[in-house]
Amino acid sequence: MRALVFGAGSLGSLLGGLLARAHDVTLVGRDPHVERVRAEGLRIAGEVSARVAPAATTTVPAERFDLALVAVKAFDTPAAAEALGGADLDAVLSVQNGLGNEAVLAEALDAPVLAGTCTYGARLTEPGAVECTGRGEVALGPPDGGESPVADRVGPAMRAAGVETTVAADMPRRCWEKLAVNAGINAVTALARVENGALVDGPAGEPARRAAREAARVARERGIDLSDDAAVEAVERVAAATSANRSSMLQDVDAGGRTEVDAINGAVVDRAEAAVPANETLTALVRGWERERGLREDEEG
């Protein structure tokens, strides 16, 4: 397989690096990481160790690829879609968090777009080096559910490189369950400045559970079978399993950078048929912080 990984940050470098053990991989990212990968290859450490030498570039080559794996933050998806238009792609797979990424990619690109959820943990430690902070799995399939020959081709190719992969016919439910987890954990931990474990038995757990229940209700409004209990159980299970984690949104806030709140809590608000007060409040607070930091100037900030 010829694979292009757009967004060679933490997750893109990890998945791209793992894929490079079996496939011809090109990472698209930014210097100094790209420069270092070109000069010295990519080191993977942590729960998986490997040294690989994928191609690396800062612009999308005008070439044919069997797969483009998209791993930018959700707010960069429109730019990723535009840049990927320069390549000839057989398939596109988003492994991003949040809702709406596949629709943005599908609108701009001719290739079939697969939805993905990813529970691997990754952290870029220095240019040229990525740490696998948790071995997980990628689930992928058509965004509207069901089966597709494209998913049946991509899944085994990922498995051939040792990436734990499930080809799933129920991606809408999986994406909404992951969204409920992120809607519950990310903004609450970012605003309270606490690790995920603080939600298990502390006072910050209640707003997280409320946000997850609201996400489950909105999922059901859209015909997706996700109960309140399943969403709350998923938040509690993930918070306990990742208790020492600083969520990605807390890390974004720590780093003074823009967050994915629009694609997470904001996505719940946008799709709700009735009020979702926990998600409305979390979205407004995080957007308010982003606006004060000059990270957004749109009407929603």
Query: Which positions are catalytic?
Result: 178
- In this structure, the number of other CB atoms found within 10 A of the CB of residue 141 comes to 28
Shortest Å, Cβ 213 to ligand KPL = 17
- Tell me which H or E stretch contains 231: helix 228-241
Reported residue count of the chain is: 301
Query: Binding pattern to ligand NAI, positions 189-228, x when CB under 6 A?
Result: ----------------------------------------
Q: Which does 279 bind (CB under 5 to 8 A by kind): ligand KPL, ligand NAI, none?
A: none
Cβ–Cβ under 8 Å, residues 92 and 112:
yes
Q: Which does 191 bind (CB under 5 to 8 A by kind): ligand NAI, ligand KPL, none?
A: none
How many Å from the N-terminal Cα to the C-terminal Cα in the chain? 42
Q: Which is nearer to ligand KPL, 148 or 242 (CB)?
A: 242
Cβ–Cβ under 8 Å, residues 177 and 202:
no
One-letter identity of residue 193: R
Shortest Å, Cβ 251 to ligand KPL = 8
CA 41/CA 132 separation, integer angstroms: 16
Cβ–Cβ under 8 Å, residues 117 and 106:
no
Contact residues for ligand KPL, defined by CB under 6 A: 97, 181-182, 185-186, 196, 238, 242, 245, 247-248
45, 49, 55, 61: CA torsion to nearest 10: -70
Cβ-closest position to ligand NAI: 9
CA 153/CA 57 separation, integer angstroms: 26
Contact call for residue 265 and ligand NAI (CB under 6 A): no
The DSSP 8-state label assigned to residue 139 in this structure reads E
Q: Which is nearer to ligand KPL, 242 or 265 (CB)?
A: 242
Q: Which does 186 bind (CB under 5 to 8 A by kind): ligand KPL, ligand NAI, none?
A: ligand KPL
Contact call for residue 180 and ligand NAI (CB under 6 A): no
Tokens for 36, please give them: 């270092």
CA 69/CA 214 separation, integer angstroms: 30
Q: Considering only 4-12, 38-46, 157-165, 238-246, which stretch makes contact with ligand NAI by CB under 6 A?
A: 4-12
Shortest Å, Cβ 273 to ligand KPL = 26
Q: Which is nearer to ligand KPL, 102 or 252 (CB)?
A: 252
Contact call for residue 79 and ligand NAI (CB under 6 A): yes
Contact call for residue 108 and ligand NAI (CB under 6 A): no
Q: Is residue 127 reached through a cis peptide bond, with omega within 30 degrees of 0 on the bond before it? A: no
Contacts to ligand NAI by CB under 6 A: 7, 9-12, 28-30, 71-74, 76, 79, 83, 95-97, 118, 121-122, 124, 248, 260
